[in-house]
Homo-oligomer: A and B are copies of this chain.
Amino acid sequence: MILLWQFCSTKKTTMTKITIAKGDGIGPEIMNATLNILKAAGAQLEFDEIAIGEKVYLSGNPSGISAEDWATIRRNKIFLKGPITTPQGGGYKSLNVSTRKFLGLFANVRPCQSLHPFVTTKHPDMNVVIIRENEEDLYAGIEHQQTDEVVQCLKLISRPGCEKIIRYAFEYARQQQRKKVSCFTKDNIMKQTDGLFHKIFKEIGAEYPEIAQDHWIIDIGAAKVADSPELFDVIVLPNLYGDILSDIAAEITGSVGLAGSSNIGEECAMFEAIHGSAPNIANTNTANPSGLLQGALLMLTHIGQTKVAENIQNAWLKTLEDGIHTQDIYNTHTSKQLVGTQEFAEAVIQRLGLQPQTLPCANYNNAAAIQIPKYIRKTPRLKELAGVDLFVHWPESDPELLAKKIQELEAEDISLTLITNRGIKVWPEGFKETFCTDHWRCRFKTRSGANMNKADIIQLLSLAHQKNIDIIKTENLYTFDGQAAYSLGQGQ
């Protein structure tokens, strides 16, 4: 990446080889339209084309891509991807998720700008960029069912994951001369996971004093974005919240057909439209190629061909201003001519060199790939075992009975201190109104306050096995540098 970026910034006219995949449904049409525009504007690109998506899945490859084509993507590092169709059922895996995670594409960047009055929107002054963490959170997809009634998914939030995405957001804001970065979490409830994201936001934010910063609880923040998006500038947030918020932001600009996004890693990057493959209008020359075109412009700025990107963006804005619209944004007030996919691309090409009259001109501030430093492991803190949570499958309902049974596992210095059901304390001193499932968490600690030993956990498990107590999972309790790093029971 570093090589490529130096290369491009000193010799802008040298060809960059990228990988393209036309994808399914409307993919080939919008890709051809986009490539025609890039070519006409003088983008310095060479292409390796690969096949991904429906045909590959249905040929018997559950990952939707061949090993050879993976190798091409990894070699070229820059990937412009058309929308694909994942067949329903049959265990086909999402190529989007695996591409992001295999290639370490940690940042999803989605600019959402309204184009009032040319595209109908309730939010004329909106210009927001959503920067979403792209690899972790509940999207790790680690799920287990261990009792008849309860299913679990792990939400994982990591320090490197947070540092990388938050630093990327601030570097992006600095490069693009944005005024404010807002962080959204639910750290009033998830004090450790979302709390880590918020804490690192404050840590890294301190290095960018020229940029305004604020934090919103996700529920209220999402409500504000939905109602008054003009209050926001750059928003950085964990994966799941980012998934929801970036779709809200795109939709309320007036059309999801107008937005592209980039997926950025330390070495590789992927660029795409945010919409799907729309098989119902495939091969009708009616799709709007703007989403993929916007993805391609993010790509051009990423590889340093910024002036080409600005030229195309200005011609695209002028085309929209001139009322030359595809059917998805056609309206009786500002549209003048209903055009198809290829005709829209030709109208953009005809306007290369022109600038919009009403909408602001594109200015990418000589953008290029944003370099963030490689994550450096921190010095380990002193980690000590403070206890263990044993999770028990027990299909009865009286916590007092369970406590008696579980207390049989106690050793001289090891005792049961707490039982919760779905997080709420039910022993000691629970409420009879509390609804209990068959999934119980039993917390053991030492009576003396001394640390526990791994052998103590093994001893507890062995005894439980002997006594037919069905332990389905364990969670060790740790302190780091003496600070407890596990939550209390609710009501404890």
* Interface residues of A, dominant DSSP: mixed
State whether B142 touches A423 (Cβ < 8 A): yes
* Residue contact A145 to B104, C-beta cutoff 8 Å: no
Which residues of B have CB within 8 Å of A251?
223-224, 226-227
Whether the Cβ atoms of A102 and B155 lie closer than 8 Å is: no
CA distance A454 to B219 in the complex (A): 42
Decide: A143 and B193 in contact? CB cutoff 8 A: yes
Q: Are B135 and A435 in contact (CB under 8 A)?
A: yes
Q: Which of A389-430 contact B (CB under 8 A)?
A: 389, 393, 395, 420, 422-424
Contact (Cβ within 8 A) B491 A98: yes
Q: How far is the CA of A211 from the CA of B102 in the complex (A)?
A: 43
A179 at the interface (CB under 8 A from B): no
Nearest CB of B to A57, in Å:
15
Copies in the complex: 2
Counting CB contacts under 8 A, is A434 at the interface? yes
Among the listed B157, B377, B420, B474, which residue makes an inter-chain contact with A150, where contact means beta carbons less than 8 Å apart? Answer: B157
The answer to whether B252 and A102 touch across the interface, beta carbons within 8 angstroms, is no
User: B473 to A465, Cβ gap below 8 A?
Assistant: no
Contact of A144 among B186, B224, B375, B475 (CB under 8 A): B475
CB <8 Å contact, A193 and B153: yes
The segment from A21-29, A240-248, A288-296 found at the interface with B is: A240-248
Given contacts A144-B477, A192-B143, contact A490 B97 (CB under 8 A): yes
Q: How far is the CB of A158 from chain B (nearest CB, A)?
A: 5
Contact B160 A437 (CB under 8 A): yes
A148 adjacent to chain B (CB < 8 Å): yes
Chain B hits for A268, CB < 8 A: 433
Known: A103-B433, A157-B151, A244-B218. A93 touches B491 (CB 8 A): yes
Contact B220 A144 (CB under 8 A): no
Q: Which of A146-194 contact B (CB under 8 A)?
A: 146, 148-161, 186, 188-193
Residues 247-258 of A, flagged 1 when their CB comes within 8 A of B and 0 if not, give: 110111000100
Bound CA–CA A462/B461 (angstroms)? 11
Among listed A303-311, A337-345, A361-369, A378-386, interface-contacting one: A378-386
- Chain A residues at the B interface, C-beta cutoff of 8 Å: 63, 74, 93-94, 97-98, 101-104, 106, 122, 135-136, 138-146, 148-161, 186, 188-193, 196, 218-220, 222-224, 226-227, 240-241, 243-244, 246-248, 250-252, 256, 265-268, 375, 377-378, 380-381, 383, 389, 393, 395, 420, 422-424, 431, 433-435, 437-439, 441, 454-455, 457-458, 461-462, 465, 471-478, 480, 485-487, 490-491
| 6 further interface pairs, Cβ-Cβ under 8 Å (given A227-B252, A473-B475) | A102-B434, A122-B227, A142-B420, A142-B475, A218-B243, A220-B247
